[in-house]
Structure 1
Amino acid sequence: MEYKIHFAPLQGYTDNVYREAHAQVFGGVEFYYTPFVRLEKGGFRNKELRDILPSGSGCCRVVPQLIAATPEEFRQIAALFYANGYRRADINLGCPFPMQARLHRGAGILPFIGEAEALLNTVEEFPQIQFSVKLRLGWETVDESWVLLSVLNRLPLEHITLHPRLGVQQYKGSVDMDGFTAFYQACKHPLFYNGDIETLEDIRDITSQFPLLKGIMSGRGLLAHPWLAVEYEKGKELSAVERKEMLETFHARLLTGYQERLEGGEHQVLAKLKTVWDYLLPEADKKLRKKILKSNILDVYCQSVKELFRAYPFIG
């Protein structure tokens, strides 16, 4: 069976510049998901509106993601997506960040089954959009997703993505594979696995353990090693030379993209590029990474990045 790889959204990282550069250089991803769009004070943030604008390149297949607490919020965001030409959308029931959770958004809505059901039922008001759902096992207990599963099973969903952690864990601790197995066995929709996918072997292990999966969603793993999906597609690891050349091209496109789209000048571009290194190449030499992060001039930063790439694959 051929499994699909989807790129999970991460706020502050997987914006349109990043998605397009990744698709152009690495690929191997069926769909890229936007960071969630939400309502604030009854309106949308300009940053999020810009991020969901359709790309002119056409190389990046994008699914916008919404996060909402009420059916009315859902309706406004779904209508926005439709007006921008999208016919697919993802519903975020997995965000663990307290700022959203306390508003009963993301994983924060999972303990409130009545609210979650009312929100999800809004799917049926938009038959022109294919919806998927991304969720966690619960906020505090796995029972929360189990109770909600009967609602999910009766709705016309494209697929479900499950991250087998609780919201209170955020990204700490271990994934709950027993919880995932129970959900997998009872879920009537195509299911994606998400959580701690960092290597080609991780993908193979999960897909062999759960052969009825539709595929894998990876976020932090692809941010760390952006060649992961294409290696899975090819069925083998790329050589160190191939990875290095792709990394250099990828970074060059990020630089150009942010220079073209950010209006705050060199310092804003530099700040944005530095965020990439929160995840990228965690195995790189710490001194080389520190030199990049301490750069306060774009030219110095670029030279430091070249130095790090020259040292790849970081074998001491």
Structure 2
Amino acid sequence: MENELKIFAAPLQGFTEAAWRVAHNEVFGGVDAYFTPFIRYEKGGLRNKDRREVLPENNCDIRLIPQIMASEPDEMKALTDFIISLGYKDIDLNMGCPFPLIANRGKGSGILQYPEKVSALMGCINEYSANGVSFSVKMRLGQISADEWKEILPALNASEVKMITLHPRIGKQQYKGEVDMEAFAEFYSECRKPLVYNGDLCSVADINRVVEKFPDLYGVMIGRGLLANGALAAEYKSGSGFTQEELYAKVRCMHSMMYERYSEVIEGGDAQLLLKMKSMWEYWLPELDKKKRKAIHKANKLSVYLNEVEGVR
């Protein structure tokens, strides 16, 4: 089934890393582009992990859009120059991260309280766009109030931003409470850029409901729903689903690919590798038998853990 709607994989810190992206694309597919968790300056520089995560050779055969986080033009320019140096031409600006340590410093969703700062970053985007770099923005309705976007959107509409992804919550909510579809509808009517919906999409029915209500959407971005059901994007695009046996087999395959990758890059031995792999089950297969899930989480040795995962059928 042909469907023009774009499906993007949302960035989730600690989960949608290169190992997950490459494995998901090979095993499930259906995603038009994968967004990296945000890259930012920390203690005056970039973390080695962030550098490694965005390297093209670690993201083979996928369309990757690196996401940066900045609150000042100089910071944004330095991050953009780094991304460009790797050969990328598409970059996403994070104005939506709700975590207090980030937002309280005026970054992520915290920047939405400062229209003048957003305007300054739009000026940077306009400069780089003249040299062939394409920028998108991922944002929320606001940090404190669901009306903050009204002071921001005119600058975005007037800028060279190519796409806006809106998660219709405020930063203070983090991921709690309901999405504000009335506010999204108002934003939708005033936005002059290709618009992508993000938030609480956990099934094909969820995607259909949003698309039916907002038929001019450019795309949807899926985060936790795609982690829980790796087949979601492919099911939406194909119009058909997987049996439980097929789904579980694909998750085991994806797990094996990720395990192999993390075995190569994680420092700290078996203990750190075990912690990393177990963390994925926070989202994977939410309908999995409770006893099996508990056994996976309780495994304190890699051999025990791998045996439990092999029994996921």
Q: Which amino acid aligns with 2:242?
A: L
Following superposition, the deviation at residue 2 of structure 1 comes to 1.5
Q: Match of 1:126, SS?
A: helix
Find out whether 1:234 has 2:238 as its counterpart. yes
Please, what is the CA RMSD of the aligned residues?
1.2
Q: Match of 1:147, SS?
A: helix
Instruction: Name 1:149's counterpart in structure 2.
Output: 153
Q: Report if aligned partners of 2:195, 2:217 keep a CA contact under 8 Å in 1.
A: yes
Q: Match of 2:4, SS?
A: coil
Find out whether 1:273 has 2:249 as its counterpart. no
Instruction: Name 2:186's counterpart in structure 1.
Output: 182
Find out whether 1:52 has 2:69 as its counterpart. no
Instruction: Name 1:314's counterpart in structure 2.
Output: none
The alpha-carbon distance between structure 1 residues 271 and 207, as it changes in their structure 2 partners (threshold 3 A), is same
Following superposition, the deviation at residue 180 of structure 1 comes to 0.2
Q: Match of 1:9, SS?
A: coil
Q: Report if aligned partners of 2:11, 2:35 keep a CA contact under 8 Å in 1.
A: yes
Written as runs of structure 1 = structure 2, the 5 A alignment for 1:1-316 is 2-55=4-57, 58-127=60-129, 128-307=132-311, 309-310=312-313
Following superposition, the deviation at residue 303 of structure 1 comes to 1.1
Q: Match of 1:171, SS?
A: coil
Q: Please, which runs of 5 or more residues in structure 1 have no aligned partner?
A: 311-316
Q: Which amino acid aligns with 1:227?
A: A
Structure 2 Cα separation of the partners of residues 183 and 145 of structure 1 = 8
Structure 2 Cα separation of the partners of residues 49 and 183 of structure 1 = 34
Q: Which amino acid aligns with 1:260?
A: E
Question: Stretches of 4+ moved more than 6 A in 1?
Answer: none
Instruction: Name 1:313's counterpart in structure 2.
Output: none
Q: Which amino acid aligns with 1:39?
A: Y
Q: Match of 2:136, SS?
A: strand
Following superposition, the deviation at residue 214 of structure 1 comes to 0.6
Following superposition, the deviation at residue 20 of structure 1 comes to 0.5
Structure 2 Cα separation of the partners of residues 242 and 143 of structure 1 = 45
Q: How many residues align?
A: 309
Structure 2 Cα separation of the partners of residues 96 and 246 of structure 1 = 32
Following superposition, the deviation at residue 57 of structure 1 comes to 6.4
Superposition TM-score, scaled by structure 1 size: 0.95
Structure 1 Cα separation of the partners of residues 60 and 281 of structure 2 = 27
Following superposition, the deviation at residue 286 of structure 1 comes to 2.2
Following superposition, the deviation at residue 235 of structure 1 comes to 1.1
* Deviation per residue, 1:220-260 (Å, 9 max, x gap): 11011111011111112222232122112111111111112
Percent identity of equivalent pairs: 45
Structure 1 Cα separation of the partners of residues 170 and 248 of structure 2 = 36
Q: Which amino acid aligns with 2:308?
A: S
Superposition TM-score, scaled by structure 2 size: 0.96
Following superposition, the deviation at residue 8 of structure 1 comes to 0.3
* Deviation per residue, 1:146-200 (Å, 9 max, x gap): 2101000011112100000000000000000000000001100100000000001
Structure 2 Cα separation of the partners of residues 304 and 245 of structure 1 = 14
